[in-house]
Homo-oligomer: A and B are copies of this chain.
Amino acid sequence: MIIKQDTELKRTAVTMEGAASVTMGIPIGEDDGSQNMIMRLFRIAPGGHTPYHTHDYEHLVRVVSGRGAVLDAQGVSHELSLGQSVFVCSNEKHQFLNPYTEAFEFTCTILNPNRG
């Protein structure tokens, strides 16, 4: 069993093209012994966003703090706040944004791409 507090996490800048003011930490990953799934913690600073992109894996997203928005494949923006979960299908275009004045944090769990 591994128990981690967010404040212990090493956070690295997301440098993918189309990302702005986003960092990522890994509350639960391969280094913790997780074989099948990885939980990432994203923080988007005010004015920042992830890329508006697609990929072939599903996202299980959970708002952790602050407020933000998600842009769907039709370009419609949906406000996000505490108590909300977002499921993004594989190959569905999406973008997370923070148009607000405080940091927006969410966890995003994916299948471990290296699983056996």
Contacts and interface: CB of A to CB of B under 8 A. Distances in A.
Interface of A: 1-7, 27-28, 32-37, 39, 58, 60, 62, 64, 70, 72-73, 78, 80, 83-90, 92, 94, 107, 109, 111
B107 A4 contact: no
Given A3-B80, A70-B3, A85 B39 contact: yes
Nearest to A73: B1
A58 B37 contact: yes
Given A27-B62, A85-B28, A36 B111 contact: yes
Nearest to A90: B35
Given A34-B58, A37-B60, A85 B27 contact: yes
Contact of A109 (B2, B5, B6, B60): B60
Contacts of A5: 83-84
Contacts of A37: 37, 58, 60, 109, 111
